[in-house]
Amino acid sequence: MTNVTSIPQDVTTANDSEHLPWNGLIILALAGFICALTETIPAGLLIEIGNGLKITESLAGQLVTAYALGSLLAAIPLTIATQGWRRKPLLLLCILGFLIFNTITAVSTNYILTLIARFLAGITAGVLWGITAGYARLMVTDALKGKAMAVAMVGTPLALAFGVPLGTYFGSFMGWRFVFILMSLMTLILIFWSIWKLPNFPGQSSEKRLSIVKVWLTPKVRPILLIVLAWVLSHNILYTYIAPYLYQFGLSNQLDIILLTFGAMALISIWIVGLLIDKMLRRLVLLSLSGFGLASLVLGLSLDIAIVIYISVAIWGLTFGGAATLLQTAIANVSGNGSNVAQSMLVTTWNLGIGMGSFVGALLMETIGVLSFPRTIALLLLLAFLIAWSGIEKTQISKN
């Protein structure tokens, strides 16, 4: 949690009650929803975007790459540079960034300009993800920090489960530009709501700030980052190439239903994590890793039985949906005054895992075949489990 030496009288302090500050947390969740939707929606509209900009689908796909690159490059340096900024103006600046860059994307007819807008949107996302967890924790007492983060993080699984399919659906008959205009309108409403209801907190005082080197050397930060990398890499190997994997079992025509199953279970996971995270964070990490590992082993049996694949995907969603909340809470608990910098490291590592997932998945698919995915994933998850089991003691990953 960010510490300050003094709080001006015009600054809202943390909620001292045992109730969650729903307005503030929902604003954070919606900011995350718009952020995740901005990142992923082009993947479902590549053909429409390619036709609209008169480019190939592969070039249209680089709009996703540009966004991820901006987020990867910006998260750490800009989070460090803005440690002293007051939280509300900084978050509002991030939300305003999405309004501007999504609007440019919606009206641009030039590919290079669109690519630049996507890169800048990614930079905005890098800053937003770097401050969201700390912002949520500032709003509540120690006993509610985990629950607050679970609410603040719910926007991402909502975007993946419902936002992207709906955006793809609307884009298919109303045009991809309409989808980006719609996101801009949502963002504009969120800006006014934030000005009205979002609590404000000062940034971190200079004497409390830690350098990136000190945060990196903080005990247990590196093990958690390794867990993040292994976990996200495992997920993205399968998620990115789920279509060719399902094709092997004649289920490619059920891709939408299978992804909906994953998304629904991911939402249930967020709810479970929100209930239990403040009491059993470490055990939830271990259970999630082992559950995902078990599901991948079952998938590795290559059973041509649809119900088995559906159950495995459901377990996968149930064990991955709360991953971001669990890992962000874990790293916040061990990093102390370096929490914001540590969060930016987590964001960078998470994006690195996404990029590596697509690369490693493609490599495996072209050399060994998609049926090698489950075994590779199981090995990565075993590594993450061992790190969590032996490298992170209960008293250090959780305050309970």
User: What is the tens place of the pLDDT at every residue in 34-52?
Assistant: 998 998 888 778 778 888 9
Continuous segment of H or E residues that includes residue 38 = helix 22-40
Q: How many CB atoms lie within 10 A of CB 392?
A: 22
pLDDT at 316: 94
| pLDDT tens by residue, 247-271 | 888 887 787 788 788 888 988 998 8
Q: What pLDDT was estimated at residue 16?
A: 53
Whether 105 and 252 map to the same domain: the answer is no
How high is the pLDDT of residue 400? 39
257 and 193 share a domain? no
| Average pLDDT, integer, range 306-331 | 91
Tally of domains within the chain: 2
For residues 191 and 224, membership in a common domain is answered with no
Between 193 and 137, the higher pLDDT residue: 193
Planar angle of CA 243, 261, 372, nearest 5 degrees: 40
- Evaluate whether residue 340 is within a structural domain: yes
Give the domain range for residue 289.
212-397
Res. 381: pLDDT tops 90: yes
User: Is residue 8 in some structural domain?
Assistant: no
Other Cβ atoms closer than 10 A to 205? 15
Of 208, 243, 265, which marks where a domain is finished?
208
CATH code at 165?
A: 1.20.1250.20
pLDDT per residue as tens digits for the range 120-173: 999 999 999 888 888 988 898 877 887 888 888 888 878 877 777 778 778 878
DSSP states of 362-383: HHHHHHT-GGGHHHHHHHHHHH
Residues 232 and 171 grouped into a single domain: no
Based on the fold, state whether residues 334 and 246 are members of the same structural domain: yes
Specify whether 164 is located in the same domain as 283.
no
Tell me: do 162 and 218 sit in the same domain.
Answer: no
Retrieve residue 243's tokens: 């279509």
Confidence grade of residue 391 (pLDDT, cut at 50, 70, 90): low
Mean pLDDT across the chain: 84
Provide the residue count of the chain: 400
pLDDT at res. 18: 67
Are 341 and 192 in the same domain?
Answer: no
Examine the domain organization and report whether 114 and 218 are in the same domain. Answer: no
Same domain for 36 and 163, yes or no, is yes
Q: What percent of the chain has pLDDT over 70?
A: 92
Would you say residue 2 lies in a domain? no
CA–CA distance, 345 with 91 (Å, rounded to integer):
18
Shortest CA distance to 154 belongs to which of 348, 321, 346, 344? Answer: 321
- Given a contact cutoff of 8 angstroms between Cβ atoms, the answer to whether 84 and 205 are in contact is yes
The residue among 162, 188, 208 that closes a domain is 208
Domain assignment of residue 17, yes or no: no
Residue 177: is its pLDDT beyond 50?
yes
Domain assignment present for residue 216? The answer is yes
For residue 303, pLDDT over 80 is answered with no
CA-CA-CA-CA dihedral for 88, 144, 342, 349, to nearest 10: -100
- Residue 13 located in a structural domain: no
How big is the chain by its Cα radius of gyration, in Å? 20
What does the pLDDT read at residue 392? 57
Per-residue model confidence (pLDDT) at position 15: 55
| Spatial CA neighbour of 235 closest among 64, 351, 325, 354 | 354
Amino acid, single-letter form, for residue 253: N
